[in-house]
Structure formats: C-alpha cells, structure tokens
Structure 1
Amino acid sequence: MTTRIGSGAGFAGDRIEPAEDLLRRGGLDDLVLECLAERTIALGQQRRLADPRAGYDRRLPARFTRLLPLAVEHGVRVVTNMGAANPLEAGRVTRELLDGLGATATVAVITGDDVLAELDLDAPAWETGRPLREHGELVSANAYLGADAILPALEAGAQVVLTGRVADPSLFLAPLADRLGWDLADPSAAAAGTLVGHLLECAGQLTGGYFADPGHKDVPGLAELGFPFADVAADGTAVLGKLPGTGGVLNRATVCEQLLYEITDPGGYLTPDVTLDLYGVRVDEQGADRVRVRGAAGGPRPGELKVSVGYRAGSKVEAEISYAGPGAGARAALAGEIVTARLAGTALRPRVEVRGADDDCRLRVAAASHDIALLEAVGDEVEALYTNGPAGGGGVRVHLSEVIGIVSTLIPRARVRAGVTLLEAGRAGTAS
C-alpha cells in the first residue's frame, strides 16, 4: 500500500503553476502548501490587531481560486498553514470559495497555536537569554503544533485543512498517518513521516531551486521548475519524484542538501511529533528524477513545544537617492558623508552605503530606532540633498516601517490546547 503526497508551496510567495500541474496530472492523494514562517505569522498578528478579519495569508484567495477547482475535480485533499494568524477567517474565506464552485466539502480549521495568554513572561528567549518580558510589547506567541492537532480533522473527513503555526513536517505527517494507518505514538512511524515532510516542505528547493549554482551545480529548466511529490509505503519507505516535462532536477545531491537544511542535530532533531535521528537514512537514486529514502529513526516526542514570539522592536527607515554620469560614484560618496555629518549629533548610528557602478549608483541610508522623529529626520536629510549638494541627485525614496522582532522559547505541551472547527461548504452547518 502506498499513498502519494505532493508539495505545492515552500513559502508564502511561491509560484502557483507547479501546484496546478501536480493537481492536474500528479495522481496525488494529498497536496500540502507550506506558506508560513516565523516573521510571516508575527506580521499576520500585526495585521489582525488592525483588522480582526485579517491575519491569514494574503495570497490565500488568489492561490485557492486557482487550486481548489482542480483539487475538487481530482479528489485531492489540501492541507495548508495559510491560516497564519487567523485560521478561522481563512476557513470562512475558503468555504465561500468552495460554495462559489458549487462544491460540497468539509473545511477544517485547526486552532490552539496562539499561546500569547499562556506564556511565562519570565521564561528566557533562546536568542538573547533574557526574560521575554524584557523585550517590550509582545504582539504574538505561536506554538508549533504537531500532526496530532491535524489528524482528527482528517479523520472527520475534511477535504481542506487550514492551520496556523504547525511544524512544517507535521503538515505532511498527518495525512500520511491518516492514509497509511500509522499510530503517531509510534516513533518509527512518526520518524518516517517526518523525514518525508522535511524533504518536501520547501517544494522547489528539493528539485534544484535553492541547489542551483551556475558552473558548480547546474540545474536545467529553472524557469519551469517542477515541485516534488513522494510515494510513501506503509513501512515508511518513500520514493521522491517530480513530473515529467518539468524543469529542475531531483537526485541524490538535491535530496542530501535538503536533508540537512535547518537541521541542528542530525541525531536528535526535535519536532512536536518525534525526536528525529537521521544518521541511518539511506538515499538511493532509482532513475531519472526518482530517489528512494528510508531509514529514519525516532525517539520520544519532546514534552515542550517551541514558541515563536513576536515583539515590537521599534521602526526602521531606508532612504535612497541616485547619482548618474561622470563622477557619480564620488558624488554619491560625498552625499553619504554629508548625511553622516548631519546626523552625527543624534543617537542614531545609520548604515550608509553606495551601491552600483561609478557612473550609475545609489546612496542608501538605513537606521533603526524606537524614536520615529529621529527616523523621519534621516529621510529629510536624504531628501535635502536634492538642492544642498552634491550635484545631480534624483529619485529619492524614503520608506519607514515598524520592525517586529522574533525570539523563541518553550512552553509545556500540556498548556497548549489544539482544537478543530469544521465548516461545511455546499450545505448549512458548522461543527467544532
């Protein structure tokens, strides 16, 4: 018995066409769209504070408008973390899209990753060692849920599952466990599915996208890069592949690079589902764009979950002006000296740099602070260069934005309570 699972996105800005291709001719059982990162969800929380109906992945309507008709047509389940900071609203939007298609389907929304109210503010942040309360105003805290949060939704018959913060491999492990009858409490099964999920989670990275380095690691057809899928057997063995006629390459080298991607301890990689041991993994090419992987081992899952915490870290300004023609490099450098001198009496320590060639270059001045007035002064000084020298400046751009800082901590698993809300498309009713 095998099941085929595909990767339709590796980040929020990923292409849609490869996922469409997988749905049309991939013979998939499940498609996973991994679209969430630490900063992505913090910014989503920020948007939700301004608008209670916002906070989910802003590309969700565009992505699902193209993908859901194909998923319905071909009977493919879709699992995604595009719920971001507002999974319930993402679920409502998805139900509306399915209603518009005339489809009868169950949309499941996974909640419980938002643990801001449960945080121990005296807990240390990994990155700084300081208590969380010392980082200023906290705007988000999202625990990395595991496959056990998703599995009940699949067992309830959901055709589309939307989550917030879930560990990337868990998005794949849950549908694999459901299809293959795996017990998530079995470390060997959890390890096998987590290995597959880790390899597929970044989509085009596995098929040569991030691998490509001209002259060293050449990859053909990157403009038409295909995304990967895996045929997974009940014993956990998986054969990775990509569709014929798509660009990119899937071989032992691309798999091994992705295998080590973001792995801190290959013998004890902690996920919400398992402590993953990769030392016994075997990677064997089975033919063109076909690679077999097996041999992951697992230990007990951790008693704590990682939490990504967002906090208000002040604001930043980026101010630029261009110089062109003979002597442009010298004039841009002089402009930088002028701005540096003008800001010397402030608390700012701006970064000043000249980019480009000698006859066409751009001065960039950047600074960060909690003092908005100081940052506005940076933009004012760059704009003043128009008439206050040197000659020939133009194309000023000033961009001021808030900075959301990200730190990590741990929370006891028992303090995180996942939930499932079922939204019915094509028929009235909501259950939870």
Structure 2
Amino acid sequence: MKTLRIGSGAGYSGDRIEPAVELAEHGDLDYLVFECLAERTIALAQQARISDPQGGYDPLLSERMRRVLPFVGVQTGRRRLRVITNMGAANPVSAAAEVRRIAVELGLDLKVLAVVGDDVLTMLQPEFLLDNGQTVGSLGERLISANAYLGVDGILQALHADADVVITGRVADPSLFLAPQMVEFGWAADDWPRLGRGTLVGHLLECAGQVSGGYFADPGFKDVDDLARLGFPLAEIDADGQAVITKVTGSGGRVSRATCTEQLIYEVHDPAAYLTPDVTADFSRVCFVEEGADRVRAQGAGGRSRPERLKVSVGYLDGWIGEGQMSYGGPGAVARAQLARDVVLKRLELIGVKMQDVRAELIGMDSLHGPRSTVEPWEVRLRVAARCEERSEAVRVGNEVETLYTNGPSGGGGASKSVRQVVAVASLLLPRDAVNPRIEA
C-alpha cells in the first residue's frame, strides 16, 4: 500500500530554516510544506505591497527556497519532492517569480505556479458587518486588506498541472497539507470522512516544532531532549487517511501522545465541528497511540460537509502605540520603579497626551498576573505603553519615560522607546461562490 510522506518546514513566518533543510535532505519526503501566514501577517504584507508593488511576500522566502530547492523535483529514488507554501502572502505571483529566479540561478528546471483569488478587497461592500461590530464603510481609508481563507481548490489545480513548487496567499493552514493527500490518493472533494482525517494530519503538522516538542517543553514537568536541534515533524499517511506522526531519526525534540494531544486542541473551539474551507472536521473521537520512539499514530477523525461561506480576514489601520521602558536594580528597585510609574502616568495627564488605552506595568512583578508577587526581585523593568490615534501623541509616551533619566527616581537605566502603527484584524464571511481560486504561471 502506498504511503505518502509530508513534512512541515515552518510553523510561522520567522521560523527556523535548518529543520526544513534536514527534512528535505533526510526525510524521504514526497511533499515539504511551509506554513508561514497568520491573520496579522498578511495584513502587514498587504501594507508592504502598497509601498512596493513587487513585494508583499514572506521576507524569508528567498533564503528558504535557496536552501531547499536543490532537493526538489525528480529524484533518483522512488520519491519526488514537491514544495507547497503560503509564503506568497499578499503577492503570490511575485513570490513565484522570485522562486523561478532562484531556481534558474541554481541551474534547476522547476515548474513554479502561484495560487491567487484570496484577495477579495474589491468585493467588500460598505454595509458588510465585521465581527467587531464595525462596518466595512466605517473603516474608510484605514482599510488595507481583505483575504479569504481558500481551501484546497487552487493547490489541486497547481499539482494536477505538475507543479514542483506551489506558492499561495491566504489558504487555510490544514489545506496546504490536505491537497497533496487528495491528489496522491484520488480522494473526492466530498469524501468527508477522509477529508476530515487529512485535515487532522494538516492540523497536527501546521505549527511545525510545536508537535515535535518545541512549545510543549517545560523543564522538570515535560522534558524534551536536544531542544536546540529541534526536528520538525513529518507524517506517514496511507490511502485511507490514517497517519503516523514522526520526525527525522537523530533530530532533537520529542513526538509523543502528549505533544500530539496538545497540538490537537490548539485553536480548536469545537472538536466536533472544526470548520475549514474543505470540510467540517470532527476531532471529538481522535486518539493517539505510541507505536515506538517518536512515532505516534493518529486515528479517529471524521468529517461532514464543508461550510457554505468562507472566512475573510480584514486588515485595517487602528492608530499608533507609543512605548517606553526603563530598568531599576538593587535594593529598593521595586519602590523606585513604582514611583517612576506613578510619575509617568501623572506626566501624561499633565501634558494632555490623547490616549485611548494605556498600560503601565513592572515586568517581572505585575505585567502578566497583576500584583501577586510577595518576593522582592533584585531588578525590575518599567514599561508604559499607550494607543493613540495620532503618531505625534504616541511619540510623547516614550519621551516621558526617557525623561526619567534625570527627572525620576534614582538608578534608572537602559531606557528604550518606540512607536509603531497598529494593524488590526477583524473578520467577516463571504459566500463560497463569490471567491475564485485559480493558478497563474
């Protein structure tokens, strides 16, 4: 019986590159998938594309492709490695062009296709209601992006067209992994049980190192070996969608029933109805069986018909955050930091800084859980941040923290200040037939 091998080369935009190269070289893979988009990531990419019409794709695309393309294409063994990735972000066509350029530079003859159709900004109507209660029209010129979560459709087109590398924009994370299973095993688009199982595989792999022990590690409670050489996961899948999650032999990390269970419940609101563009997956009966060291069988997933509407992630500008920080150390550090906080908050009031939200905290004392600590730390760092409509107002926040050097309590040092624009994200739903996924060369 045929076994399909799919590896996860990235779990987010800034992820490590070495584990992906390890998978490409030693994983005996059919497919290597790079999942690099978050909701805010694509809004930022759209913003970058406004500044540079040829930009807007993942900043690590070139380096990643340069490292793994030598392993892609027709291989001398029984497997042919192909790459699927959403690193196209806001500009899959330009990303595909960049991959072709790198392939030529490396002396490789590869077919690279882009999947487009997720950008639905021009389809939005002013009266459309977002999940935050605002309308699209109320955003005005602050609206910068609207990307629908595509499913497998465009990727299937590209794979059937014999692409070696498939570059997408906003595609649902599990769909990147489900599409090659559908192609290789010939699953129908309404074979809901198998699509549910294939979606489980995608969900387990989509965050890369999380399922192989990365985010799982907790010294003394959940120990993971050789975390500095964490190996990214791969799945061995049969034609019925049954899968074993594992990693390259000798790589760091850990694949266990516990790591898989933690990843299973990640971002899943209803295990019995996990909505994706391809299927309503049912994870409520999933169980994991350890078949050996770093080998876990995933079974029990099912599925029902897919939703009739697609989620759209809408990005918009929502003001500026001004921030300032200052450290205090030694005896009385907490008291001096508390006084510094009081001074800054009073100063912001006195000079009339226009703020919508403000946060003033002592990192190491109350920044996460409020004033709970009873132990006096030897050092503490003050952080004051505020959200403002105008950049000029946000600048004043960091400036006031910096003035503590000579106007605040003694012993302050290591001041820093910054201003950044807020790119906020909201969601709405569009009818499936309003979105047209397709491939471009």
Aligned equivalent of 1:260: 265
- Tell me whether 1:251 sits opposite 2:256 in the alignment: yes
The one-letter code of the counterpart of 2:57 is Y
User: Which deviates more, 192-201 or 151-160?
Assistant: 192-201
Say whether the 8 Å CA contact 1:32–1:172 is kept in structure 2.
yes
Paired residue total: 421
Report how far residue 293 of structure 1 moved: 1.8
For 1:267-346, list aligned pairs within 5 A: 267-345=272-350, 346=352
- Tell me whether 1:354 sits opposite 2:374 in the alignment: no
Q: Deviations over 1:337-373 (max 9, x none)?
A: 2211111143335322233575533321100011222
Q: Deviations over 1:209-229 (max 9, x none)?
A: 122222222222211111111
Aligned equivalent of 1:28: 29
d(CA) in 1 for partners of 2:226 and 2:329? 36
Aligned equivalent of 1:426: none
Aligned equivalent of 1:429: none
Report how far residue 260 of structure 1 moved: 1.6
SS in 2 for 1:341: helix
Aligned equivalent of 1:215: 220
For 1:37-186, list aligned pairs within 5 A: 37-72=38-73, 74=75, 75-126=80-131, 128-136=132-140, 137-186=142-191
Q: Deviations over 1:230-286 (max 9, x none)?
A: 111111111221111111111212112211211111111110000111223332221
SS in 2 for 1:344: helix
> Scaled by the length of structure 2, what TM-score is found?
0.91
d(CA) in 1 for partners of 2:193 and 2:335? 63
Say whether the 8 Å CA contact 2:116–2:437 is kept in structure 1.
yes
d(CA) in 2 for partners of 1:44 and 1:232? 33
SS in 2 for 1:417: coil
CA-based RMSD of the aligned residues comes to: 1.7
SS in 1 for 2:213: coil
> Scaled by the length of structure 1, what TM-score is found?
0.93
The one-letter code of the counterpart of 2:54 is R
d(CA) in 2 for partners of 1:57 and 1:215? 37
431, 434, 437: which one pairs with 1:412? 431
- Tell me whether 1:191 sits opposite 2:210 in the alignment: no
Q: Deviations over 1:136-185 (max 9, x none)?
A: 52111110000112101000010000000000000011111111111223
The structure-2 alpha-carbon separation of the partners of 1:355 and 1:238, relative to structure 1 and needing over 3 Å to count, comes to closer
SS in 1 for 2:28: coil
Aligned equivalent of 2:242: 237
Gaps of 5+ in 1: 423-432
Aligned equivalent of 2:402: 383
Q: Deviations over 1:371-421 (max 9, x none)?
A: 222212212222222222333433321110100011111011111111201
The structure-2 alpha-carbon separation of the partners of 1:341 and 1:255, relative to structure 1 and needing over 3 Å to count, comes to same
The one-letter code of the counterpart of 1:38 is E
The one-letter code of the counterpart of 1:151 is L
d(CA) in 1 for partners of 2:281 and 2:263? 15
SS in 2 for 1:191: helix
The one-letter code of the counterpart of 2:271 is P
d(CA) in 1 for partners of 2:24 and 2:207? 18
Say whether the 8 Å CA contact 2:57–2:89 is kept in structure 1.
yes
Say whether the 8 Å CA contact 2:395–2:418 is kept in structure 1.
no
The one-letter code of the counterpart of 1:50 is S
Aligned equivalent of 1:430: none
Report how far residue 135 of structure 1 moved: 4.2
d(CA) in 1 for partners of 2:286 and 2:325? 49
Say whether the 8 Å CA contact 2:322–2:396 is kept in structure 1.
no
d(CA) in 2 for partners of 1:87 and 1:219? 37
The one-letter code of the counterpart of 1:39 is R
SS in 2 for 1:253: helix
d(CA) in 2 for partners of 1:245 and 1:36? 29
Say whether the 8 Å CA contact 2:157–2:438 is kept in structure 1.
no
The one-letter code of the counterpart of 1:96 is R
Report how far residue 325 of structure 1 moved: 4.2
Say whether the 8 Å CA contact 1:119–1:411 is kept in structure 2.
no
User: Which deviates more, 286-295 or 8-17?
Assistant: 286-295
The structure-2 alpha-carbon separation of the partners of 1:243 and 1:321, relative to structure 1 and needing over 3 Å to count, comes to same
The structure-2 alpha-carbon separation of the partners of 1:257 and 1:322, relative to structure 1 and needing over 3 Å to count, comes to closer
The one-letter code of the counterpart of 1:77 is R
The one-letter code of the counterpart of 1:104 is D
Q: Deviations over 1:300-330 (max 9, x none)?
A: 1111000111111101011122334443333
Say whether the 8 Å CA contact 2:286–2:300 is kept in structure 1.
yes
User: Which deviates more, 71-80 or 314-323?
Assistant: 71-80
SS in 2 for 1:350: strand
d(CA) in 1 for partners of 2:363 and 2:285? 47
Report how far residue 52 of structure 1 moved: 1.0
SS in 2 for 1:183: coil
The structure-2 alpha-carbon separation of the partners of 1:350 and 1:259, relative to structure 1 and needing over 3 Å to count, comes to closer
SS in 1 for 2:426: strand
d(CA) in 2 for partners of 1:418 and 1:38? 19
